[in-house]
Amino acid sequence: MKKKNKVAAATNWPLTILLILGCLTVIFPLYMAVVIAFKKPSEMTNDIAGALSLPKSWSFENFAEAMRVTDFWHSLGYSVMITVITVVLAILIHSIAGYAIGRSMAKSKFYKFSYLYIVSGMFVPFAILMMPLVKQTAQMGVDNWFGVILCYLVFYMPMNVMLYSGYLKNIPIALEEAAFVDGATTWTTYWKVIFPIMKPMHATVAVLTALGTWNDVMTPLVIMSGTGTNTLPLAQLTFQTQFGTNYNLAFASYLLALIPILLFYIVCQKQVINGVVNGAVK
């Protein structure tokens, strides 16, 4: 992969074309998914030409039916609520934890230990935590959406703390020292200087955390069981029963669920690019 780095260089056309060609690995499966989402079950076939052909009519019936079956707006509401609160809390809590631990771990054994302790938590298979967590959240009275958020804050902490403290390695400590000289506390320095600089990382963390929570089935399934409320992925389990799967409705539903998170990603990507404070990071 050649990468020409002339400042303000002209558009790298060969690379652009190469990347567009590479997109086919995504576009082709996506095309299949879209076509299936518009077809009727009776149009399904094992014949390749038939499977890749366009649907007989571009009716949005499947989408409407999928929305009805999953109680779309209601389930979407729960999914959005859980995801948004998780992401906001994750950015606030994980970034400052990453900062405190990342800045101190070179000097202090306690923070080095804390870092390894949290990161190692990432490797605990969820299956072993599941049953005890179900019991624990029930005993604490948080066997509902809020308990799910608490679990997510803990599940994504290892990755996010890693990301934040990794990012901080490239941010010179001199930036903070300048603020100290002016008499600011560590706390205010963090919010005024470091937090804004980490904007690209906030965007990255937001996307990764949002994705994990948005698509997750297991945590809400076991924690919220019996509450009668569904997140979108939970509601989507309806399409798969023991002896049959309605792929057409399911695909329509998955494509609908894909849109909000894709928009969120695109917005966050802009932050990653525009938020670069290259000049400040010297």
Partner 1 sequence: MKKKLSRNQTFMLITVPVLLLFFCFNTLPLIKGFMYSFTNFKGFGSYEMVGLRNYADLFTDARVGKSYLFTFKFAILATIVTNVIALLLALGLNAKIKAKSALRGVYFVPRILGGLVVGYIFGYIFTYILPAITGGSSMLSSTKTAWIAIVIVAAWQSIAQTTLIYISGLQTVPEDVYEAGAIDGATGWKSFKELTFPLIIPFFSINMVLSMKDFLMVFDQIMALTKGGPAQSTESISYLIYNNGMGGGQFGFQSANAVLFFVVIVAISVFQLNFTGKKEEQL
Partner 2 sequence: MKKKVIAVLLMATVLTGMVATTGCGNSADKDGKTHITLVQYKPEAVKAFEKMEEEFNATHDDIVLQIESPNDAMTVLKTRFIKEDTPDIIGIGGDVNFSSFIDSDMLMDISDFEGISEIKPAYLEIAKNLEYVPEDGVFSMPYVANAAGVLYNKDMFEEHGWEIPTTWSEFTALCDEIQSEGIQPLYFGFKDTWTCLAPWNALAVDLAPADVCQQVNKGETTFSDEYAEISEKMLELLPYGPEDPFAYNYNDACTAFANGESAMYTIGNYAVPQITSVNPDMNIDSFVMPGSDNADENVLNSGIDLQFCVTSDCENKEAAYEVLSYLLADETVQIYLDDQSAVPCKEGNFELPKVLDGMADYIKEGKMADYQDHYYPAEMSVDAQIQTFLINGDVDAFLKKFDTDWTRYNRDIIRKVQEYEEKNGGNE
CB of 227 to partner 1, least distance (A): 19
Instruction: Please report, as residue ranges, which positions from 127 to 186 form the binding site for partner 1 (by CB under 8 A).
Output: 127-133, 135-136, 150-151, 153-155, 157, 159, 162-163, 166-167, 169-171, 185-186
Query: Which of partner 2, partner 1, none is residue 146 near (CB under 5 to 8 Å by kind)?
Result: partner 2
75 to 104: interface string for partner 2, x by CB under 8 A: --------------x--xx-----------
How many angstroms separate the Cα of 220 from the Cα of each of 41, 64, 71, 121? 30, 25, 16, 20
* Residue reference for tokens 């998955």: 254
Instruction: Please report, as residue ranges, which positions from 3 to 62 form the binding site for partner 1 (by CB under 8 A).
Output: 3-7, 9-13, 15-16, 18-20, 22-23, 25-27, 29-30, 32-33, 36, 46, 48, 51
The SS3 assignment for 241 reads strand
- One residue of 19, 52, 237, 280 binding partner 2 per CB under 8 A: 237
Q: Which helix (H) or strand (E) holds 35?
A: helix 24-38
Helix, strand, coil proportions of the chain in percent (round to 5)? 75, 0, 25
Kindly give the residue spans of alpha helices, DSSP state H, lying in 6-94: 13-22, 24-38, 48-52, 61-69, 72-89
Query: Which of partner 1, partner 2, none is residue 120 near (CB under 5 to 8 Å by kind)?
Result: partner 1
Instruction: Please report, as residue ranges, which positions from 28 to 57 form the binding site for partner 2 (by CB under 8 A).
Output: 41-42, 44-46
**Residue 221 touching partner 2 (CB under 8 A):** yes
Please tell me the distance from the alpha carbon of residue 39 to that of residue 31, in angstroms, as a whole number.
12
Query: What's the angle, vertex CA 29, arms to CA 126 and CA 272, rounded to 5?
Result: 65
- One residue of 14, 125, 228, 279 binding partner 2 per CB under 8 A: 228
- One residue of 143, 194, 200, 219 binding partner 1 per CB under 8 A: 200
Name the residue nearer to partner 2 (CB basis): 237 or 280: 237
Please tell me the distance from the alpha carbon of residue 8 to that of residue 10, in angstroms, as a whole number.
7
* CA neighbours closer than 13 Å in the CB half-sphere of residue 138: 12
Which residues lie across from 245 on neighbouring strands? 240
Please tell me the distance from the alpha carbon of residue 154 to that of residue 18, in angstroms, as a whole number.
40
Please tell me the distance from the alpha carbon of residue 261 to that of residue 79, in angstroms, as a whole number.
11
185 to 214: interface string for partner 2, x by CB under 8 A: xxxx--------------------------
Name the residues that contact partner 2, by CB under 8 A.
41-42, 44-46, 89, 92-93, 131, 134-135, 138, 140-144, 146-147, 149-150, 185-188, 221-222, 225-226, 228, 234-235, 237-238, 240-247
